[in-house]
Amino acid sequence: MEWWLTLLIIFAALMVLLAIGLPVAFAFLSINVVGAFLLWNGAAGLTQLTLSVMASVTHFTILPVPLFILMGEIKFRSGIAAKQMDVLDSWMGRIPGRLSLMAVGDGTMFATLTGSAMAGTAMLGKILVPDMEARGYKKPMTLGPILGSGGLAIMIPPSALGVLLAAIGNFSVGGFLMGIVIPGLLMAVLYTAYIMIRCSLQPELAPVYQTGDKQLWPKIRDTLKYVFPLAAIVFLVIGLILMGVATPTESAALGTIGAFVLAALLLKRSCDLSDQDETAGRLSERPGAPRSTGGPGAPPPPSPQQCRSASNHGAPRGHEMRPRGHLLVTRTNQGASRF
């Protein structure tokens, strides 16, 4: 069989597997297993495939890849990424293409959180696209900035693809990660300039809308609380490599430990706030605790006997009045209204 026909069959089979909804990893694995069996002499081909997989995953130079992915998952699952978006949103005013610029800014920050472009794109699409469509943004200013900004994770360390390319090319992983920082930031600046210029020339692509005003001190406080700690993780991942103190694998491990510590501190603060709310709720439910029933001097809630008396004497026919908590509920055939 001609090589081009074999390649065409493999590509067509891959497209069919992806079209029926099979996950990408399993689609590639299925093609590899079937291809190795048919093209590499049956069982011997499967043995060779297994040995190739083992040799690939045990390569020391690609060890930072799972650590980068783990670090990104920790930051996403702990809510640090969402906090970053809130802080960036508070600093942006009524500027052309505000949400599109948020996509670029968040994509740049997410690139420092995870080495996966797919994770950053999925996060931006899930959070920003519904709001963009609701505010009348057109497709060029909706999907374009998100897809382009998601690709910044490839160009800004930690980059899983950068580690793989360096391992395949057999050159320094640390040097390669340092070499892609400036091009990645330059791409982000060019994206920002393009969005602002095009939205100024074609304002219908991204309509300007009113935003809530926030005081300066809360914005500074949130920035110091949620953004500046991430600078320590960026230093652990990139700064130590640049200073020559740690190898890429060691920096990836330190960055993962820093992400664990940051997530634990954020989780502890959230648990403390939850405990305070629960304690306040228990105190308000204690017998004899003062309860608000409408302000000072307000009459106490009606008793069940008073409600039954009102139902028997004063309520219109077809109505039933009964107490529910501190609310007097009147039920009619059409529904219920609360007083």
What is the DSSP annotation of 287-298? TT----SSSTTP
Tens digit of each residue's pLDDT (9 = 90 or more) over 312-339:
444 444 444 444 333 333 333 444 333 3
At residue 186, the pLDDT reads: 92
Q: What's the whole-number mean pLDDT along residues 290-314?
A: 46
Considering 128-142, 185-199, 212-226, 236-250, the range whose residues carry the highest mean pLDDT is 185-199
Identify the bridge partners of residue 230 per DSSP, sorted by sequence position: none
At residue 157, the pLDDT reads: 79
Which has more confidence, 203 or 76? 203
Computed over every residue of the chain, the mean pLDDT equals 75
Alpha helices in the chain (DSSP H): 3-19, 24-39, 43-57, 64-77, 80-91, 98-111, 117-134, 143-150, 152-155, 160-169, 173-179, 181-201, 216-226, 228-234, 240-243, 248-284, 304-313
| Residue 331 host element (H or E) | strand 327-331
Which has more confidence, 281 or 265? 265
C-beta neighbour count of 312 within 10 angstroms: 9
Share of residues in the chain with pLDDT > 70 (%): 74
Q: Is the pLDDT of residue 285 over 70?
A: no
At residue 190, the pLDDT reads: 93
Q: Is the pLDDT of residue 234 over 50?
A: yes
- Domain residue limits, the chain: 23-58, 64-275, 304-338
Give the global pTM.
0.59
At residue 277, the pLDDT reads: 53
DSSP 22-45: --HHHHHHHHHHHHHHHHTTTHHH
Q: Which backbone phi and psi does 207 adopt, to 5 degrees?
A: -60, 140
Identify the bridge partners of residue 328 per DSSP, sorted by sequence position: 323
Q: How far apart are CA 187 and CA 179, in angstroms?
A: 14
Q: What's the whole-number mean pLDDT along residues 168-195?
A: 87
At residue 20, the pLDDT reads: 93
Place of tokens 């081009």: 4
Which has more confidence, 333 or 168? 168
Q: How far apart are CA 332 and CA 336, in angstroms?
A: 6
Q: How far apart are CA 314 and CA 307, in angstroms?
A: 10
Residues 6 or more apart in contact with residue 148 via CB below 8 angstroms: 104, 107, 187, 191
At residue 286, the pLDDT reads: 52
8-state DSSP, 159 = -
At residue 98, the pLDDT reads: 83
Q: Is the pLDDT of residue 96 over 90?
A: no
Share of residues in the chain with pLDDT > 90 (%): 9
- CA 152 vs. chain centroid, Å, equals 15
Tens digit of each residue's pLDDT (9 = 90 or more) over 29-84:
999 999 899 888 888 888 888 888 887 777 777 788 788 878 877 877 777 777 77
For residue 95, CA distances in Å to 139, 147, 210, 259, 316 come to 19, 21, 10, 33, 58
